[in-house]
Chain A
Amino acid sequence: MSILEPLTLVFMQRGLAAGMLVAVACGLLGCFVVLRGMEYIGDAIAHSVFPGVVISYAIGSSLLLGGLVAGLATALLISVLNRGGKLKDSTTIGVVFTGALALGVLLMSVLRGSTRDLSHFLFGNILGVNDSDLIFTGILALVVFVCVILFYKELTLSSFDPTHARKIGIPVNSLRTGLLILLTLTIVAGAQSVGVLLVTALLITPAATASLLSRRLPRMIGIASGLAVTSVFIGLYASYFFDVSSGAAIVLVVTIYFLIAWLFVSKRY
């Protein structure tokens, strides 16, 4: 078996391309997610994509579209529930995403006996990426890339010092909502590759590793994206040659990166 053999296969090419696009988007956004302590909300959105997928399956529409609507609805619901200041953010998030997950499971039990396998969405199916998925992922990665570049200054400031950001007139809440929307888009695209259960890892682990290795945000973003992209490559190769789950292989690669970085960076700067 040649080492280049996987690259000649169309489904591998598509999978690699889609996975790497998602990885770049995850690396970019992941840094802001980690710096703002939004890891938990990322995980929540990932889980709440699930009922949307089940519903869109039932009515026969695109799974990505269904996931997108559910994810955005959850992101919106969480930010509305947080506005009154009645509860801690993490409390509302915990309530909403477990509720959404339960709704998904319930809907799935209603649809039991269906022929198509929804587990692809739970665990990812990167080798089943078709042309329209690839185009969707490409557009999405581009949108994330352009938004982060255009609003880099404001995103950085509102992450570091929201008080000063508000003081000079930056609409901190709108920026946060915008970030949540980008996050949802990325998570839905990532769910295709590594599944809703593991997509948070692609978002958080490379960024966490990069934060151990860099003290400058631009470099941190570069490292996070680089790690995410190589992990997709290595993970996919591993899954091809050893016939293991590709999503899990990708996530384990980033986890190993993290552990190595943690061991070799002796102290927090």
Chain B
Amino acid sequence: MQRRFYYTRHIHNEHIESAVHAVCLDHLTFAYPGKAPTLTDIHFCVAQGERVALLGPNGAGKSTLLKLMAGLLKPTLSSATQAPMIKIFEAPIDTCHPHTAYLAQRSEVDWRFPITVRDVVMMGRYAHLGWFSRPNKTDTHIVDEVLDIVGLSALAQASISDLSGGQQQRTFIARALAQNARLLLLDEPFNNLDAPSQRSIIELTKLLQSQGKTIIISTHELGSVIAGDVAETVILLNHNIIAIGSPAQVVRPDVLAQAYL
């Protein structure tokens, strides 16, 4: 293997593959500076290979929670405990974990940026390239492969501005796959998607799950969770955890009322 100046310390695959949990949160609390806590006492673990839906009304702290799990925000430490409150693959969290991918809400991306689908997906490989090196044949091959998996091979050379909402979402999932991420954090992927597009994203996450990926999806749309098989575990959130369980256990009027009323 050639010498590369990685952006971050690389973690060995073996350690990650043997971890039982992809994410563990230990009584996590978070407040933006000068504000009331957005999240209080969040406590749960997600097993590797699990698909989880993070359900809750707007402003419940779903995006914040995903960003914390992505390492983009730091938990607010309470005075009582200084122990790490977030573990990713059973190791204390690091901002730059090459095996987690965070997919921002589509509204946070500049879709007019002059770039093709293939170039965006290639950016997933940058995590394994480091400074001063260019993508080689292996990287190109991986990009071809993941474009095929998400069904965007034909649109590889298209500008991202030409894509539909569902295709945009799949482009970013492809980038996470090119990055070889094992934990995918999807922030509101169903926003402004029509039903068939939502369907295709759900099918794609199922396929990824069968390959051992852990997927956490935030959504405020009850419909997508009720109607289908977005996840086998639903976490109902409104600043703290209201309920955790199977869709049948959580998506019930009496339980939902606690978060949505």
Contact = CB atoms under 8 A, between A and B. Distances in A.
Our verdict on whether A and B bind, yes or no, reads yes
A166 B33 CA distance: 21
Q: Is the interface of B mostly helix, strand, loop or mixed?
A: loop
Nearest to A217: B114
B254 interface: no
Q: Is the interface of A mostly helix, strand, loop or mixed?
A: helix
Given A169-B96, A170-B7, A217-B114, A153 B126 contact: yes
B114 A211 contact: yes
Contact of A166 (B95, B109, B116, B175): B95
Nearest to B6: A169
A5 B24 CA distance: 76
Interface stretch (B78-86, B100-108, B146-154, B227-235): B100-108
B104 A215 contact: no
Interface in A157-191: 157, 159-161, 163-164, 166-171
B255 interface: no
Interface string A195-233: 000000000000000010011110110000000000000
Interface residues of B, number: 36
Most buried by B among A161, A211, A220: A161
B162 interface: yes
B129 interface: yes
Interface string B81-99: 0000000000000011110
B186 to A, nearest CB: 13
B183 to A, nearest CB: 12
B243 to A, nearest CB: 30
A-B residue pairs, 10 tightest by C-beta = A169-B8, A169-B7, A169-B96, A168-B127, A215-B159, A215-B114, A160-B113, A217-B114, A170-B7, A220-B114
Interface of B: 6-8, 33, 70-72, 95-98, 100-102, 104, 108-110, 112-116, 120, 123, 126-127, 129, 131-132, 134, 159, 161-162, 175, 179
